[in-house]
Amino acid sequence: MQIHTKKTKLFLDSVIYDEIKKYSWIISGVTTTPTFFNRDKVNFDEFATQLRSDYPDLELHVEALGNNSMETEKELKTILNKPWFSINKVVIKIPVSFDNLKIVSKYSKNGVKFNTHLVFTPCQAYLAVLAGSTYVCPLIGRYADNVSKFFGRNLHGGEDDITNKVLVDILNVVDNGQDKRVGVMASSIRTVGDFCNAVMAGSDIVTVPTNVLEDSIKNEYTDQGILTLLESVNVK
């Protein structure tokens, strides 16, 4: 695997405020989904208001979602009129489709930033770039889940992870485009292997759930080394 030296920004994939507070010193932003707000019983407006107040430098990604393009655009307009909305620091997540990319094209001309997600192919990434997306977001963990089921073995992380090729192909499409302002955000990170692959492939951003972030710092040899150091200090 070719390792890139591009500096990858770290986002936290969470709506748990204590988690964001804990890692606010190292992350550059926060990604959310309607699923998180429902699952964790977090009020969307209260969360966004507090985050924008306490951490104005963090970029916040929120979803505009509807059953059709008219509903999606209506939800987008609602977000744009929120008192906590900032055109520089709040990014609209939107699933990739032609109808949604038409919305991206329309509103990005006015400076609205979009994270086009649920991207799984280079062609989808290419079209998202053409439409004016700020970020293209492949869900590599979700893809790995589906491919792993098909092959009957775990394909999260490592040289044999077919999702790494998809990520690299999407990175190549975006990097070879004319607009260098478009970034690739690796998301749906399930394992430390997914995390490592995203960083080594040269993703512009990787958004990680707290459990994976906390596991990523752990290594048995590090633990053994610390114990050895402590034992040497305590020798009389």
Q: What is the CATH number of the domain that holds 135?
A: 3.20.20.70
Distance CA 196, CA 207 (A): 12
In a domain, 3, yes or no: no
Question: What is the pLDDT at residue 167?
Answer: 87
Amino acid 232: pLDDT: 87
Q: How far apart (Å, rounded) are the C-alpha atoms in residues 108 and 191?
A: 33
- Domain assignment of residue 165, yes or no: yes
Residue 25 belongs to domain spanning: 9-234
Residue 218 placed within a domain: yes
**For residue 201, is it within any domain?**
yes
Whether the per-residue pLDDT at 59 is higher than 70: the answer is yes
Q: Phi, psi (5° rounding) for residue 3?
A: -100, 130
Please say if the pLDDT value at position 130 is more than 90: yes
Which segment of 128-137, 188-197, 209-218 scores lowest on mean pLDDT? 188-197
Strands of 160-224 (E only): list them.
183-186, 205-208
Is 128 within the bounds of a domain? yes
Total domain count for the chain? 1
- Closest of 13, 65, 66, 61 to residue 36, by C-alpha: 13
Tell me if 147 is assigned to some domain: yes
165-174 in b/e form (b: 16+ CB < 10 A) is: ebbbebbebb
Residue 192 covered by a domain: yes
* 153 confidence band (pLDDT: 50, 70, 90): low
**Torsion sign over Cα 87, 88, 89, 93:** positive
The overall average pLDDT reported for the chain is 89
102 in a domain, yes or no?
Answer: yes
Tell how far CA 186 is from the center of its chain.
5
Long-range CB contacts for residues 144-147, cutoff 8 Å, separation at least 24? 144/190, 144/194, 145/190
Hey, is 53 helix, strand or coil?
helix
Q: How confident is the model at residue 6 (pLDDT cuts 50, 70, 90)?
A: low
Distances (CA, A) of 56 to 48, 85, 125: 11, 11, 29
Separation of alpha carbons 180 and 70, rounded Å: 30
132-149 confidence digits (pLDDT tens): 999 999 988 665 555 555
Stretch 181-192: mean pLDDT: 92
Active site residues: 93
| Res. 115 pLDDT band, cuts 50 70 90 | very high
Map tokens 């430098």 to a residue. Answer: 57
Residue 125 tokens, joined: 């990434």
How much is the pTM? 0.90
In this predicted structure, what is the pLDDT of residue 231? 87
